[in-house]
Chains A and B, each alone.
Chain A
Amino acid sequence: MHLDLDQLDRDAALRETAAGVPRETRKDFLLGTLAGGGAALAALVLAEPGKAASRTDVEILNYALTLEYLQAAFYTEAERRNALRTKLARQTTRVLGAVERAHVRALRDALGSAAVKRPFFDFGGVTEDEDAFIRTAVAFEDLGTAAYKGQAYRIDSPALLAAAISIHSVEARHAAWIRYLAGAPPASSALDEPKSMGEVRELVASTGFIVERPRTGSRAEPRFTG
């Protein structure tokens, strides 16, 4: 049995079309991983003294960071909302969330000022419904695994490649773990296909989970009592 985003998305949480995502949001997301790429390349030195990361490597790291932000926010919110019914799902979520947050910290530390900002997420109740949550988690972990694999051949720095492969295998373990929770075979095919950056961006944008940050600041005159 092979699971993919479409099959998992019985509630249409992930199948929402890219056209349904606000244009600016989608554009921001699609361009977001590149936005920080040109700024402060020298900030990132990957365990190779005196050698700054290439523009491609910074782009890939920011791309990975955006995916890790998404996964970390997803598990963290599920834990904080405390809506998962089964103990196993709650335990799994706690551990996966801790690992994804560690990935975020590592990538942000490495990128320094070149790191993209954390987007604003709206999971629309998926983190509060166990069935939808597990199906989406399977999709995210499969996607994360395929995304790291899809960038391996592009990475310039051997040290970054080593790091990416280290994270990739952890994401694959997560995928197997969460598939087990979903009642799906942990490994259903002899070969896993990679996904390109473009494919991953389209899939993530189509979820509608990355949204505009609410406008809570303004230059308007205060209307308080004073």
Chain B
Amino acid sequence: MVGAAVAVIGRGAEVPVAGVSHSLAAGLPERDPLGPPPRSGLAIPRPRLLTSGAAEITLWAPVRRAVAVHEAPSARADVTAHVPASTPERTTNIVVIAGSTRGERELWVPIRTRAATGWVPRDALGGYEAVETRLLVDTAAFTATLLRANRVVFRARIGVGTAAAPTPTGSFYVRNRLTRYRSAFYGPVSFGTSARSGLTDWPAGGFVGIHGTSRPEILPGRVSHGCIRMRNADILALARLMPVGTPVEIT
């Protein structure tokens, strides 16, 4: 069969079909009765690797169930902390991922706790989400600076904790975002963080927030119980730029 077809094509015969001249020498019509194919309706951009111009990325994950944090990736390792599944405001608690997963039969994930890096089973966490923002809080200069993809996108003057209730320094992250509550004291938007002030007997554990204020006239300065306060216009601007999961570096 194949041999016969080649023989026909080799003779260069032409067979007209429905007005289209077919050259059997080429095996294809000389003219396309439908014209050229349509151009793609989508402009597909050139694929970009993550490593090309990549910003510093932080991964976070929701906590699916209250879980013990272990010193090493093993259930037999010492427990260094406990992570609840919800925050004092009853939002889903989240943790920041601190490195690569380990384990064969059971996967363990390193997370950042206040004291150090600890390990939790992978199944205690939900899906990962990435952020490319970082908030830098300078308690000496009274400034908060938000970076996105390593570029400054926001800066504001702030109030921080008094000498008796200083804002804790270290590496923390934004855990939740609160809006439309009644208290004017916190301004129109608040962010809960994983940072804890020295006020350990404070109701709900003494967590530090980033929020607006009903007293803008006293900013900037050492005015709070550990929270980071800013003017309401500033916290509203920050709320448009800073997602939950953003790392907060306080110096």
Contact = CB atoms under 8 A, between A and B. Distances in A.
Contacts of A123: 127
Interface in A141-175: 157-163, 166-167
Contacts of A167: 42, 44
Contacts of A129: 107
B24 interface: no
Contacts of A80: 50, 57, 59, 128, 130
A101 B44 CA distance: 10
Of A98, A110, A216, most B-chain CB atoms within 10 Å: A216
Contact of B92 (A105, A110, A214): A214
B100 A224 contact: no
B94 interface: yes
B240 interface: no
A200 to B, nearest CB: 20
Contact of A107 (B42, B50, B206, B209): B42
A219 B101 contact: no
Interface in A59-118: 76-77, 79-83, 94-95, 97-99, 101-103, 105-107, 109-110
B49 A98 contact: yes
Given A47-B38, A226-B186, 14 more contacts: A80-B59, A83-B100, A98-B48, A98-B49, A106-B42, A124-B122, A124-B123, A166-B44, A218-B176, A219-B179, A221-B89, A225-B209, A225-B225, A226-B209
Given A102-B48, A125-B107, A225-B206, A220 B227 contact: no
B41 A215 contact: no
Given A159-B40, A225-B209, A225-B227, A218 B90 contact: yes
Contacts of B47: 95, 98-99, 101-102
25 contacts: A81-B101, A95-B49, A102-B48, A105-B45, A122-B127, A125-B101, A128-B122, A160-B41, A161-B38, A162-B39, A215-B91, A215-B92, A217-B244, A219-B180, A220-B90, A220-B91, A221-B181, A221-B183, A222-B209, A224-B186, A224-B192, A225-B161, A225-B202, A225-B209, A226-B209
Which 8 pairs show the lowest CB-CB distances between chains A and B?
A: A159-B41, A224-B209, A122-B127, A46-B41, A98-B47, A214-B62, A223-B204, A163-B42
A177 interface: no
Interface string A188-226: 000000000000000000000001001111111111111
Interface of B: 37-51, 57, 59, 62, 88-92, 94, 100-101, 107, 122-123, 126-130, 161, 165, 175-183, 185-186, 190, 192, 197, 199, 202-204, 206-209, 211, 224-227, 244
A31 to B, nearest CB: 21
A224 B208 contact: yes
A106 B45 contact: yes
A67 to B, nearest CB: 15
Nearest to B193: A224
Of A123, A211, A218, most B-chain CB atoms within 10 Å: A218
A215 B224 CA distance: 28
Contacts of B40: 47, 159, 162-163, 166
A105 B180 CA distance: 34
A15 to B, nearest CB: 17
